[in-house]
């Protein structure tokens, strides 16, 4: 196997959860040239993806050169982790002798012609990372599966160090990430303020807030800061640091707390003690899988110990401050 195309056109979180499959694919074909195709909305994570030789970026409004490159490259194997109309078309254009996708694409006949082999793997019954690993397992590999992983360059880590020095964070610190791509994942601002105060009181450490540039997310964070007892000890980096720089801040944090988001998967990649809040989304499919992670969910009064594939979701407003503080106290046991 000489040339492999991997298609993952979903959001950042899905890309990060594809990294265990990429790792196993590299083990299976150590000499192959692996090309990863990402959507432009996930391009920020590209430099942190290991086990691939190159990353191509799909732009919805201008990918003519991409189509030519697909046809010219002559791939031997194509793995599609996405399963939508675009990814099926890309798989077909790759002209790979072996084009592998998930069996659910057969629900639409127009998609299934893009593949030579379809893999049975229920997205409802599998953690997302395990679901993606099933595609590699179909190639005959004996795959146990590992955790998600990211790599940061030395220059990114130096930039993060310089940023911490600039704001006066010279030692240990906490990271909170209250925002997400979907507003229904937001937790109430006054409750976040209470939990941040609790963590700071327990550990005596400053707090760093990370986040994106979405105006709604920035307003949410501003609301949290307005309700905080000691805002001077909270450093807001939302809209001030790009994805990789935020990842570097998370990498060195004593503790991470946030809602279900790509940032939570970043914390998992670096095995940070973390507390992740869920409401409408089911943590069964997305929860961090390392031992120093704690999950709380709306509708449940204590940290989750079992994850069920069919579990009713609740609005974030039904997640109490007391439940999250209980989860915070649990994850603090993993803080060294």
Of 80, 104, 137, which one is at a domain's C-terminal end? 137
10: left (phi over 0), alpha (psi -120 to 50) or beta: beta
- 174 and 298 in a single domain? The answer is yes
For residues 68 and 115, the model is more confident at 115
In a domain, 200, yes or no: yes
In a domain, 215, yes or no: yes
pLDDT band for 168, please (50, 70, 90 cuts).
confident
Of 83-87, 223-227, 296-300, minimum mean pLDDT range: 83-87
Report, as an integer, the average pLDDT of 10-35: 96
- 7 and 121 in a single domain? The answer is yes
- 192 and 60 in a single domain? The answer is no
How far lies 259's CA from each of 149, 279, 324, in Å? Answer: 19, 9, 11
Residue 1 has pLDDT above 70, yes or no: no
- 187 and 294 in a single domain? The answer is yes
For residues 129 and 168, the model is more confident at 129
Residue 235 has pLDDT above 80, yes or no: yes
Q: What is the pLDDT of residue 255?
A: 97
Of 137, 166, 195, which one is at a domain's C-terminal end? 137
Residue 212 has pLDDT above 80, yes or no: yes
What's the CATH number where 270 sits?
Answer: 3.40.50.2000
pLDDT band for 8, please (50, 70, 90 cuts).
very high
- 130 and 200 in a single domain? The answer is no
Contacts of 77 (CB under 8 A, 6+ apart): 1, 3, 4, 5, 29, 32, 96, 97, 98, 99, 100, 139
- For residue 86, give its domain range: 3-137
Report, as an integer, the average pLDDT of 311-336: 95
In a domain, 146, yes or no: no
Answer yes or no: are the C-beta atoms of 129 and 24 closer than 8 Å. no
- Mean pLDDT computed over every residue of the chain: 93
Report, as an integer, the average pLDDT of 218-222: 96
Domain count, the chain: 2
- 175 and 310 in a single domain? The answer is yes
Report, as an integer, the average pLDDT of 265-275: 98
- 200 and 313 in a single domain? The answer is yes
Answer yes or no: are the C-beta atoms of 102 and 83 closer than 8 Å. yes
pLDDT band for 50, please (50, 70, 90 cuts).
very high
């Amino acid at each position: 196997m000489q040339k492999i195309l991997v298609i993952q056109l979903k959001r950042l979180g899905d890309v990060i959860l594809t990294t265990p499959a990429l790792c196993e694919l590299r083990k299976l074909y150590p000499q192959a040239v692996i090309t990863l195709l990402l959507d432009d909305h996930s391009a920020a994570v590209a430099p942190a993806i290991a086990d691939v030789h190159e990353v191509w970026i799909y732009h919805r409004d201008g990918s003519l050169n991409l189509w030519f490159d697909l046809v010219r490259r002559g791939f031997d194997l194509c793995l599609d982790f996405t399963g939508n109309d675009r990814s099926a078309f890309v798989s077909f254009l790759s002209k790979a002798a072996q084009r592998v996708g998930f069996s659910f694409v057969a629900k639409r006949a127009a998609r299934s012609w893009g593949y030579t082999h379809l893999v049975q793997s229920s997205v409802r019954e599998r953690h997302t990372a395990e679901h993606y690993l099933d595609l590699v397992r179909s190639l005959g590999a004996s795959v146990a599966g590992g955790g998600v992983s990211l790599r940061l360059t030395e220059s990114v880590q130096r930039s993060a160090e310089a940023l911490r020095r600039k704001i006066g964070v010279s030692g240990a610190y906490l990271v909170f990430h209250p925002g997400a791509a979907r507003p229904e994942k937001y937790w109430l601002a006054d409750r976040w303020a209470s939990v941040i105060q609790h963590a700071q009181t327990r550990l005596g450490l400053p707090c760093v807030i990370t986040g994106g540039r979405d105006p709604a997310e920035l307003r949410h964070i501003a609301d949290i800061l307005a309700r905080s007892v000691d805002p001077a000890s909270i450093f807001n980096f939302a809209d001030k640091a790009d994805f990789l720089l935020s990842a570097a801040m998370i990498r060195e944090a004593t503790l991470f707390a946030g809602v279900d988001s790509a940032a939570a998967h970043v914390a998992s990649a670096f095995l940070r003690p973390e507390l992740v809040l869920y409401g409408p989304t089911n943590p069964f499919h997305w929860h961090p899988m390392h031992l120093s992670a704690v999950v709380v969910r709306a509708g449940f009064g204590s940290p989750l110990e079992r994850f069920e594939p069919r579990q009713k979701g609740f609005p974030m407003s039904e997640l109490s401050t007391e439940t999250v503080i209980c989860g915070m106290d649990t994850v603090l046991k993993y803080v060294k």
